[in-house]
Structure 1
Amino acid sequence: MTDAYRAEPDANLKKESPATEEVPTRAEGKSAALDVLLAPSVLKHRYVRGVDKSNIVERPERIRAVLLGIAGAHGVSEKMTSGSARQENQDIVSMLSSMSMEERESAVRVLKTTRTLSLDTPEAALVDAHGYAGEPAVYSLSTDYAPSDESEPGPSTHFARVSSLAAKAPHEAPGTLPRKAPSASLDLSDATSSDGEGDDRMHLCEIPENLPQGDLYLCGPHSAGAQDTSDGGSREAICHALGACVEAVDRVVASSKATCPVHWSEQVQPRSRGLEEEPVARSVPHQPAKRAFVLSRPPGHHCSGAEPSGFCWVNNAVVAASHAYRAHKIDRVVVLDIDLHHGNGTQALAWRMNADAVEADQQRQAKLASAWRQATKGATPATRSATKAAEAARTPYEQLLHEETLVGPRAQRLFYGSLHDIESYPCENGDAELIRNASVCLAGAHGQWIWNVHLDMHKDDAEFEQLYQTKYSKLFDQARRFVRETKALPERTLVFISCGFDACTYEYPGMQRHGKHVPPQFYALFARDAVALANECADGKIISVLEGGYSDRALISGALAHLGGLADLPWAAGSWPRTQAPWSLENVSMLEKMAKRVTASAASKAVTASACRRRPVQLAPWLVRASEHFASYQRACGIAAQPLESTSQPSTPRKAVLRGLDLDLVTPSHSTAGGHQLRDRSVRRTRSHASLWTDGTPSRTRARSRAPPEPVPSLPWTPRKQADPSHLVPGALPVESAGPATPMQPGVTRDDTSNMLMDLLGRLQLQESSKVV
């Protein structure tokens, strides 16, 4: 990047308070540890090929799983902080639950952003990355949907061609668009997908033949020529993902300044069930955080200057870095790429930008030398000594500012460090050049700062931790060396994470065909170390940009852990056994079920309350809280969702007996180290689940004959089968949620009335005795 610094307007970043109001100072504003930027058009982005037969596993809907992980982080935070003290602090918890988002202290904010970078009238930062004169776009614009005359060259810039292809791509799913009549020579094996309707019609491809057919797709706008339609088109998603990355840069840089004013942005706020009529996103005065997490999709790290691939049409991180230079003079950028796949596009762009920086800085040094000679020409030795003394008295930052007044800013230099599987895409086919590029390690030679680390297999968590400490964390050592040897200044340095969750253990096995992966805890650990690096060398400025990740469980667990590490939440620190970690598979599974119920609840809003009460479900408070956040994210993007509520169980023992429950729901629950809520079975159980088959509940007994039953001797109980008690008793929690239980031996059957009375008296006595103990 050789252009001189040019200040650009920042109209979309913030909406200042009205002129009649006094702008709050930094001390008066509210701040958080982390800002999450969500663009509704990114969540609405759609996949329209139908039943896919190519190698495409990416879906725009994957962003929903990341939001579920973010919602889970909010829920887990409350779960970990309340824990066993929930009953003692019930009043406080209730008060906090009723407070709005801005009234509660939250380490994480989710902000709705609509900022966009146009592909048709591109900003300079987009031109820097994808409009380079030496990298013209030469791929075809002809597709099966819209054949074009190849004699017309078309636009030479990559972003202009992407815009053209996206405008011509189909908007509807297969089977709803007019199709060409299939020719006799059509090879169905080359078709990209089926229409999913059970006939022989095939979805025509929206990608030119000379681009990778197995890893690119586009969804077009609703109407021809439309630019921003909010209907799931790829062009709008790409533009808004870029805009969110640029806004993140502006926010973290502004936050690092001592005179940063309070900003006004739409903050997504959770609402409990029953308050859905209130807006879920509204403008809130706040201070931007120094850390940001951008939910950008399509990903970007496989896209170079003019070659899209690997689901990537533009390079979000590099465009953001270029914007940081042009708008804020950020001349040192550290990019840490943690994805199963090598970010070949980002490395190629970093290589080209560093090569240009070497040439630009050589010219700059020559200008500085000339300016020095002119300033000291004809000066006396005393004057020269005074000039040198003045320079020596300046701080490095003051010296840089002085030099900028003479010859302009330094060129931008990038460090690119990647942790990836060398056997996976794009190196999976054995291409020698791609393998060499994904293995390069250069620390300043020829002006290049590239460091690649390959993932290794591990047998257990102990072996992984050793790998992390001895191999993977070397990326931070090399980043620090880059900062030191390029004379980076904290005011002009920014750290990026290109974060892909496809290396997570819970990713699809087909994606991790070579057995290389990392546990979810890696994303928390790496984020914490990256934050430490940013605090050390960049005034705390760090932005994480979403890249890969395809399994919902990989995205949920990885996002949950990564968010905890970025926000420096206490539960994200240290080592966790996998079964007890906040991102455990059990917690992830519970979040998945919660998300389905949030969607189903919105779809079945017409169900009467009485029908819902017939099948009450007791939910953990942390899941209810997570559902409130998740539903708010969906609704902020125009997607129907209803938060859940914990249906309270009967408050009196008699009602519990009449409903067939043998649990004392008034007794406080206990929590395991992993956060499970376990009932004290030694106090609560007076009849076993198995005895319900012999004694029968009052409701079952009434259906039988009124004749007195014959006495049944007390015998050792032999279970008929290992059944889930929740299937036997309405309202009871499943075994895996309620914890292990040891059934008691069934006693002799008694009369219904005496049975209930004795049951009540016995349980009340047990409650009183337990309180005394």
Structure 2
Amino acid sequence: MQADPLENFYLQFQRFVENNPNVISAARAASQIPESAKAVIILSPYCLHHVFPREWVSKAYRKTIVERPERLLAASMGIAAAITMYPALFNLRSSHTRLGSLSSPHVTKVHGAQWPHSLAKLCKEADGKLAKGEIEVPTNWNAGDIYLSSRTLLALKGSLGAIETGVDSIFKGPSLDHISNRAFVVIRPPGHHCHVSMPSGFCLLNNVHVAIEYAFDHYDVTHVAVLDFDLHHGDGTQDICWKRAGFKPDNESEEDSKIDSNNPYSDFNKRKARFPKVGYFSMHDINSFPTETDFATSEHIKNASTCIMDSHDLNIWNVHLSNWSTDEDFQKLYRSKYRTLFAKADEFFKNAKYEMEIQFENNEETEETNFKPQPKKPFKGLVIISAGFDASEYEQTTMQRHKVNVPTEFYTTFTKDALKLSQMHCKGKVLSVMEGGYSDQAICSGVFAHLIGLQNQDWINEWGSQQVVKEIVRGCKPNWKPYKTKKSSDVIRIWAEEVIRLGRSMIPEFDDVVFKSKEKLLKQKQKEHAALTNDGKFNESMVGATISQRVTRSYAKDRVHRKDTAPVKQENVPFMQMNLSDEDENEDDDYEYDEELNKTFNRTVEDITIDDISRHLETLDLIEQQEDEEEEAQRQKEKSKRSSSRRLQSSNGMYKIPSDKTTNNLRHNNRILSSSQQGQQTQNYDDSDISMMSHVSTMKHSTRSGGRW
């Protein structure tokens, strides 16, 4: 049996629990939380194998390669930060036992049979070309953005396995008792620039569309809203939506064209749209790749500005990022402009529900194609987030060249709005797939904030302060070492080192690919292993346990050890139970201790870790699956209110996504019952700067890294 790759993480987590009495006290409520209230985080160690292979290039050139394995280490820091805040509300899983296939139906239905085959062939041939000092990618690709090796193929298979695991987690779970509503899949390379049969901007396969096909094939998902907040327009994701609508893709081979032979193209290269139906809703910088200033084609600009709803089987809405100066300015911008995406996604789902209901009422027969038969089944929705963090205020300026960005809190707010949309239409099912984000600071802080939002919690501004982010990203250094001395009142540094240890232990392959001095690190790990378990043996009771179970078991263990002794008074400082020096740090000359920030940060952490976890359920809009008769009654009620018009439009362009069900009580059987309807929340939005265009996307090459090629 293969060793558990999360073993080192569990050991570090055990130590974290033992050092933090507040976490132990919260464990009493952890066992009451249903699995559907937890977010699942999927890690794939195989994604580290996609490594820049051209050994002959200069060190300066290597620094321009921003899509690198270290991105997963930075993401792990953000994950660890979120787990320390809500350790009982996340489940961490590794997809190390699962490799997908590039020839699987959910890949070929997106990319055709030819492109995945060609990609695999290029990966296998890459090492031979590299050995000769030759560029391993075709001459018509941007070699400054895309690289390949034989190991890239393993990374792609690992990404596919992680995607499949993520979708499985929210629909069937490891078991029926462990189905979660939300999953975050942490993979690379990203996917939203990859077209039907052409890679672009670091992207080799379109991960989101592959996930959609997998959800359709295995769980009968009929409609998906893709919400994309990456800095760059997901031109590949949008382009594949045109294919789904029945429009013939550019450069489609004759072989791929004949796959759906029972559904031929018309004289205008349009065939009947097939399920699943997908709406694409994106916010991005119109001046960045693939619409980079001085490099953009008119076609790319039109594509990145397309706005069309419920016409020609298309639902696409693009919003362009704007400048802001204060937090108040950004909040106004978000409410008036960016939330437009949720209004349009809401409209997409409403129309879809109506159309599916009409199909059932009319008992319409659906055609069978060479794909899966078109579903004669009820509406089943899913929200997918293309989670790119390169629009972060912490992203490097070389990537964010046009000075538009978002504050860190945005990732929490946007994700919470995505939850509301999903609760209304998809029974809470949300799949988030990592896209861009290239500086350690942007990824760490962005993932941290995104996961807090994925649990419907509020972001605390102190968590995203420069000092906090700076301390966390220290752990992204290959040769990171803990501080030799610390101020006992410097809770930020103490907490950050707990986060770093957890993050660096999540994927064992970090040792091989990212960290330096492997031999030294292995010795250090063995030493820590023995120290963590006291007797040097792995705690077998923790094997296979979820994070919340580990918290509970550590609490029980703590109670057993202390039952015959007097209570021990604990310091009211989180994340520490160690002797620390008050001596000044010599390792960081530019460090300035911020006493007020540390006090505020300490208070926010204490409020969370000692809080009764059941209170979390009061704010999380979980909707239990209704009985068949209740669903039918609700359907009839909505039908009686519906106008005779076939289309449902959002009235007067108003954003209407009510959070109409809340959790008021935690039942003994762990089922969540909804309360009375809450009032709708309505915000005005202004789309005056959004071009209304419906132009078929055709592929043009441009560069993402910014240079000519």
* TM-score bin, normalised by smaller chain: 0.5 to 0.7
Change (3 A) 1:128 1:427: same
Deviation at 1:634, TM superposition (A): 3.1
Deviation at 1:726, TM superposition (A): 3.6
Aligned residue in 2 for 1:48: 53
Q: Residue type matched to 1:584 in 2?
A: S
Aligned residue in 2 for 1:164: 121
Tell me how far apart the structure 1 counterparts of residues 232 and 213 of structure 2 sit (CA, whole Å). Answer: 23
Deviation at 1:731, TM superposition (A): 13
Is 1:204 the counterpart of 2:68? The answer is no
Deviation at 1:310, TM superposition (A): 0.3
Deviation at 1:333, TM superposition (A): 0.6
Deviation at 1:431, TM superposition (A): 0.3
Is 1:320 the counterpart of 2:218? The answer is no
Change (3 A) 1:303 1:27: same
Is 1:634 the counterpart of 2:591? The answer is no
Tell me how far apart the structure 2 counterparts of residues 584 and 616 of structure 1 sit (CA, whole Å). Answer: 20
Matches for 1:8-407 after TM superposition, within 5 Å: 30=35, 32-50=37-55, 51=59, 53=61, 56-75=65-84, 77=85, 106-114=88-96, 115-119=98-102, 122-131=103-112, 157-170=114-127, 178-179=131-132, 204-220=134-150, 233-254=151-172, 261-262=175-176, 287-355=178-246
Q: Residue type matched to 1:591 in 2?
A: I
Deviation at 1:676, TM superposition (A): 13
Q: Residue type matched to 2:593 in 1?
A: E
2:468 to 562, 587, 604: 587
2:275 to 411, 421, 426: 411
Contact 2:186 2:434 in 1 (8 A): yes
Deviation at 1:503, TM superposition (A): 0.5
2:384 to 492, 496, 514: 496
Deviation at 1:165, TM superposition (A): 1.1
Change (3 A) 1:467 1:165: same
Tell me how far apart the structure 1 counterparts of residues 52 and 477 of structure 2 sit (CA, whole Å). Answer: 20
Q: Once structures 1 and 2 are overlaid, which stretch shifts more, 46-55 or 238-247?
A: 46-55
Aligned residue in 1 for 2:319: 453
Tell me how far apart the structure 1 counterparts of residues 128 and 397 of structure 2 sit (CA, whole Å). Answer: 31
Q: Residue type matched to 1:163 in 2?
A: A
Tell me how far apart the structure 1 counterparts of residues 128 and 502 of structure 2 sit (CA, whole Å). Answer: 30
Q: Residue type matched to 1:497 in 2?
A: I
Aligned residue in 1 for 2:449: 561
CA-to-aligned-CA distance 1:441-479 (integer Å, 9 cap, x gap):
001111110100000111111111111000001000000
Aligned residue in 1 for 2:617: none
CA-to-aligned-CA distance 1:186-205 (integer Å, 9 cap, x gap):
xxxxxxxxxxxxxxxxx531
Contact 2:223 2:379 in 1 (8 A): no
SS of residue paired to 1:106: helix
Change (3 A) 1:726 1:38: closer
Aligned residue in 2 for 1:625: 498
Contact 2:226 2:280 in 1 (8 A): yes
Change (3 A) 1:638 1:533: same
Aligned residue in 2 for 1:487: 353
Change (3 A) 1:240 1:739: same
CA-to-aligned-CA distance 1:512-540 (integer Å, 9 cap, x gap):
11111111111111111101111110011
Tell me how far apart the structure 2 counterparts of residues 567 and 61 of structure 1 sit (CA, whole Å). Answer: 26
Deviation at 1:594, TM superposition (A): 4.2
State how many pairs are aligned: 463
Tell me how far apart the structure 2 counterparts of residues 616 and 509 of structure 1 sit (CA, whole Å). Answer: 32
Q: Residue type matched to 2:83 in 1?
A: H
Aligned residue in 1 for 2:593: 736
SS of residue paired to 1:36: strand
Deviation at 1:106, TM superposition (A): 1.2
Tell me how far apart the structure 2 counterparts of residues 205 and 636 of structure 1 sit (CA, whole Å). Answer: 27
Deviation at 1:669, TM superposition (A): 6.8
SS of residue paired to 2:106: helix
Aligned residue in 1 for 2:421: 533
SS of residue paired to 1:480: helix
Q: Which has the larger radius of gyration?
A: 1
Contact 2:395 2:441 in 1 (8 A): yes
Tell me how far apart the structure 1 counterparts of residues 313 and 274 of structure 2 sit (CA, whole Å). Answer: 14
The runs of 5 or more residues in structure 2 that have no matched partner are: 1-30, 249-258, 264-272, 357-377, 513-520, 532-568, 599-709
Q: Residue type matched to 1:218 in 2?
A: L
Change (3 A) 1:247 1:726: closer
Aligned residue in 1 for 2:696: none
Change (3 A) 1:236 1:178: closer
Which structure would you say has the larger RCO, counting Cα contacts within 8 Å and 6 or more residues apart? 2
Change (3 A) 1:170 1:597: closer
SS of residue paired to 2:593: helix
SS of residue paired to 1:590: helix
Tell me how far apart the structure 2 counterparts of residues 497 and 343 of structure 1 sit (CA, whole Å). Answer: 12
Q: Residue type matched to 2:68 in 1?
A: R
Aligned residue in 1 for 2:440: 552
Tell me how far apart the structure 1 counterparts of residues 190 and 478 of structure 2 sit (CA, whole Å). Answer: 29
Tell me how far apart the structure 2 counterparts of residues 495 and 309 of structure 1 sit (CA, whole Å). Answer: 24
Deviation at 1:635, TM superposition (A): 2.9
Tell me how far apart the structure 1 counterparts of residues 111 and 331 of structure 2 sit (CA, whole Å). Answer: 39
Q: Residue type matched to 2:298 in 1?
A: A
Is 1:514 the counterpart of 2:399? The answer is no
CA-to-aligned-CA distance 1:698-720 (integer Å, 9 cap, x gap):
xxxxxxxxxxxxxxxxxxxxxxx
Tell me how far apart the structure 2 counterparts of residues 208 and 248 of structure 1 sit (CA, whole Å). Answer: 32
Change (3 A) 1:253 1:670: closer
Q: Residue type matched to 1:415 in 2?
A: G
SS of residue paired to 1:487: helix
Change (3 A) 1:178 1:520: same
Q: Residue type matched to 1:446 in 2?
A: H
Tell me how far apart the structure 2 counterparts of residues 472 and 735 of structure 1 sit (CA, whole Å). Answer: 37
1:465 to 321, 331, 334: 331
Contact 1:331 1:410 in 2 (8 A): no
Q: Percent identity?
A: 34
Q: Residue type matched to 1:627 in 2?
A: I
Contact 2:169 2:179 in 1 (8 A): yes
Structure-1-length-normalised TM-score: 0.55
Q: Once structures 1 and 2 are overlaid, which stretch shifts more, 487-496 or 318-327?
A: 487-496
CA-to-aligned-CA distance 1:488-517 (integer Å, 9 cap, x gap):
789611110011111101111111111111
Change (3 A) 1:589 1:676: farther
